[in-house]
């Protein structure tokens, strides 16, 4: 299985989860999606991650994002682990955790990296657009927990740049100025971006974030 690349269609699958059986594409519907894997149940870093995702429910909902987690353990293990997550992280897990004991989904998404571990999934993250295309991939080692503030930041950028002819510069956050994409001629900018713009170099033009009032 070759690695999935940006712009590839996210492979569809049917799987058992802690919230019942899902067909992944049907479950996503018209939403954006985040699919992220965990090396195993009852592991310390994963416990903090899943608790954090539950606490970010409002942030994901505001962005029309559905979240699903995965590990190579089964449903009974998942349900027991959720009790620990809710207790230790003082939250309520309210998104599906996929059971992947046969490694079917892990292999579809190239989540097992044999040189890291031949059995367990690495910390993969896939952001998937409403068109079911992969918009972002990030792979963390098993020892490093993910930064979900960064994931929200990237989703904000992906959603902005999907609908406006801008890109986001280094360290951009919601509300910061954006970069006008090179395909837009400078004389076209006033019509496209009536909030104004700056020409720093012919190839570097900035404008206030267009989708904010």
On whether both 40 and 132 belong to a single domain, the answer is yes
On whether both 23 and 61 belong to a single domain, the answer is yes
Classify residue 183: in a domain, yes or no.
yes
On whether both 120 and 55 belong to a single domain, the answer is yes
Classify residue 135: in a domain, yes or no.
yes
pLDDT of residue 117: 53
User: Which CATH number goes with the domain that contains 107?
Assistant: 3.40.30.10
pLDDT of residue 121: 58
On whether both 130 and 173 belong to a single domain, the answer is no
Classify residue 42: in a domain, yes or no.
yes
Classify residue 175: in a domain, yes or no.
yes
On whether both 101 and 171 belong to a single domain, the answer is no
pLDDT of residue 50: 95
On whether both 62 and 131 belong to a single domain, the answer is yes
On whether both 140 and 45 belong to a single domain, the answer is yes
User: Which CATH number goes with the domain that contains 193?
Assistant: 3.30.1020.10
Q: How far apart are CA 151 and CA 1, in angstroms?
A: 26
On whether both 131 and 66 belong to a single domain, the answer is yes
Q: How far apart are CA 80 and CA 93, in angstroms?
A: 12
Domain count, the chain: 2
Classify residue 40: in a domain, yes or no.
yes
On whether both 39 and 77 belong to a single domain, the answer is yes
Residue that finishes a domain, picked among 119, 146, 173: 146
pLDDT of residue 113: 60
Domain that holds residue 174: 164-207
Classify residue 111: in a domain, yes or no.
yes
On whether both 135 and 171 belong to a single domain, the answer is no
pTM, to two decimals = 0.90
Q: Edge-to-edge, what's the strand order for the sheet holding 134-140?
A: 20-23, 14-17, 97-99, 65-71, 32-37, 123-128, 134-140
Per-residue pLDDT of the chain (213 residues; tens, 9 = 90+): 457 899 999 999 999 999 999 999 999 999 999 999 888 889 899 999 999 999 999 999 999 999 999 988 899 999 999 999 999 999 999 999 999 888 889 888 988 765 555 556 568 899 999 999 999 999 888 788 999 999 999 999 999 999 999 999 999 999 999 999 999 999 999 999 999 999 999 999 999 999 987
CB 68 within 8 A of CB 41: no
| 3-class SS of residue 191 | helix
Q: How far apart are CA 176 and CA 128, in angstroms?
A: 24
Classify residue 55: in a domain, yes or no.
yes
Classify residue 212: in a domain, yes or no.
no
pLDDT of residue 154: 97
- The set of catalytic residues is 46
On whether both 107 and 54 belong to a single domain, the answer is yes
pLDDT of residue 122: 62
On whether both 43 and 127 belong to a single domain, the answer is yes
pLDDT of residue 3: 79
């Amino acid at each position: 299985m070759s690695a999935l690349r940006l712009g590839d269609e996210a492979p569809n699958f049917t799987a058992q989860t802690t919230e019942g059986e899902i067909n992944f594409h049907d479950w996503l519907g018209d939403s954006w999606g985040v699919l992220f894997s965990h090396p195993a149940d009852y592991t310390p870093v994963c416990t903090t991650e899943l608790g954090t995702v539950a606490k970010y429910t409002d942030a994901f909902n505001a962005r029309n994002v559905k979240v699903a987690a995965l590990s190579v353990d089964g449903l009974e293990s998942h349900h027991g682990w959720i009790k620990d997550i809710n207790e230790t992280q003082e939250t309520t897990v309210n998104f599906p955790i996929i059971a992947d004991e046969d490694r079917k989904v892990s292999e579809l998404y190239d989540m097992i990296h044999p040189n890291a571990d031949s059995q367990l999934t690495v910390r993969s993250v896939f952001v998937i657009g409403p068109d079911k295309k992969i918009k972002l991939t990030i792979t963390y080692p098993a020892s490093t927990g993910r930064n979900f503030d960064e994931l929200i930041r990237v989703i904000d950028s992906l959603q902005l740049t999907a609908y406006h002819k801008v890109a986001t510069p280094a360290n951009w956050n919601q509300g910061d100025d954006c970069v006008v994409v090179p395909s837009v001629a400078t004389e076209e900018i006033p019509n496209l971006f009536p909030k104004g713009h700056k020409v720093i170099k012919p190839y570097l033009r900035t404008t206030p974030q267009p989708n904010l009032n």
